């Protein structure tokens, strides 16, 4: 099986360059109190969501939680430190290009109550990952990831079927929080893609990507964005494979996702490899990064039920298309 890592393994650099050497691998001292069973505090590094992960009983180490990466990834440094055994070579897709990459076998990986075993993880340079590792979809499948931005907390729990009622094509939660909208998504390569999104009346495919700090649209999306969006400069995205991609950073006047309308949304526009991987290179598509996700109070991604739940701030209004 080919291993695939989409855009979310990229780091955003604006007006600067990457350091020449990787920083030491962060590790929490053993005398610190253990992590809660159900709730994790997360920190931000380059506006990405980091949590503490035990790797084969060692650590915890800081990993980026990445709902856009199909595979868990580990840095060369940490794999060498833990003397992990080599695995097969796999094809890795980053934002800029593809490459055949070595893997290692992680006997076990634990975060919160989740323990995944025998993960075949590609190994990449930590300086390009921006962390000792990436927690991907292979470790998250069958679970729900709940991100509470108001508290900087995340929980990971087994998925359970919920009772919902439908109104104008949207599912409103009847078992949990009020004012939560649930959007049903389709599963593609383990990733959840929402199609209940529109820009100027045209349907848009949206992928939630917690591993990237900014939202990225493909050129096909730009064609339906009405009048030419206002450019606010260029950004340089450096992928996990160490290559740079220059993207135009624009303000999109209006986009609606799950009936929720947003105005003047900043997006980088790039003809990126992940869009081709998902068969979306010629269709309007957006990778919704952490900058957009933070507009919500809470976001829950339920992989087993193919649902995305948005907890709305009081200031957000529902849109009609």
Q: Which of 70-84, 85-99, 176-190, 236-250 has the least mean pLDDT?
A: 176-190
Predicted confidence band of residue 132 (pLDDT cuts 50, 70, 90): very high
Three-state SS annotation for 174-192? CCCCCCEEEEECEEECCEE
Spans of all domains in the chain: 7-140, 144-311
Predicted confidence band of residue 205 (pLDDT cuts 50, 70, 90): very high
> pTM value?
0.76
Structural tokens at position 173: 């939660």
Which ranges constitute the DSSP H helices of the chain?
76-81, 126-129, 137-140, 219-223, 273-277, 290-293
Cα angle 137, 143, 149 (rounded to 5 degrees) comes to 85
Q: Does position 230 have pLDDT exceeding 60, yes or no? A: yes
Which one of 1.10.760.10, 2.40.70.10, 2.40.30.200, 3.30.830.10 gives the CATH number of domain 144-311?
2.40.70.10
Which one of 3.90.180.10, 1.10.1270.20, 3.40.50.2300, 2.40.70.10 gives the CATH number of domain 7-140?
2.40.70.10
Distance of alpha carbon 157 from alpha carbon 143, whole angstroms: 5
Q: Do 144-311 and 7-140 fall under one CATH topology?
A: yes
């Amino acid at each position: 099986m080919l291993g695939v890592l989409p855009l979310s393994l990229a780091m955003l650099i604006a007006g600067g360059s990457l350091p020449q050497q990787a920083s030491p691998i962060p590790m929490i001292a053993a005398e610190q109190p253990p992590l809660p069973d159900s709730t994790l505090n997360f920190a931000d590094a380059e506006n990405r969501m980091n949590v503490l992960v035990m790797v084969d009983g060692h650590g915890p180490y800081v990993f980026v939680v990445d709902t856009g990466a199909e595979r868990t990834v580990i840095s060369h440094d940490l794999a060498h430190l833990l003397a992990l055994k080599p695995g097969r070579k796999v094809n890795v897709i980053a934002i800029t290009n593809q490459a055949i990459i070595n893997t290692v076998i992680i006997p076990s990986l634990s975060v919160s109550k989740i323990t995944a075993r025998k993960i075949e993880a590609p190994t990449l340079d930590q300086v390009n990952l921006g962390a000792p590792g990436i927690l991907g979809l292979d470790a998250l499948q069958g679970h729900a990831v709940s991100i509470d931005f108001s508290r900087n907390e995340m929980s990971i729990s087994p998925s359970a079927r919920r009772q919902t009622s439908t109104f104008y094509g949207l599912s409103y939660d009847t078992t949990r929080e009020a004012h939560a909208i649930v959007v049903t998504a389709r599963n593609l390569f383990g990733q959840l893609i929402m199609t209940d999104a529109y820009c100027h009346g045209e349907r848009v495919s949206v992928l939630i990507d917690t591993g990237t700090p900014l939202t990225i649209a493909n050129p096909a999306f730009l064609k339906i964005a009405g009048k030419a969006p206002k450019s606010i400069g260029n950004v340089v995205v450096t992928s996990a494979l160490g290559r740079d991609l220059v993207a135009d950073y624009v303000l999109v006047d209006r986009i609606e996702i799950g009936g929720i309308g947003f105005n003047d949304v900043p997006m980088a526009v790039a003809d990126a490899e992940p869009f081709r991987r998902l068969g979306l290179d010629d269709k309007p598509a957006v990778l919704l990064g952490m900058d957009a996700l933070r507009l919500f109070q809470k976001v829950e991604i339920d992989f087993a039920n193919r649902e995305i739940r948005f907890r709305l701030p009081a200031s957000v209004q529902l849109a009609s298309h």
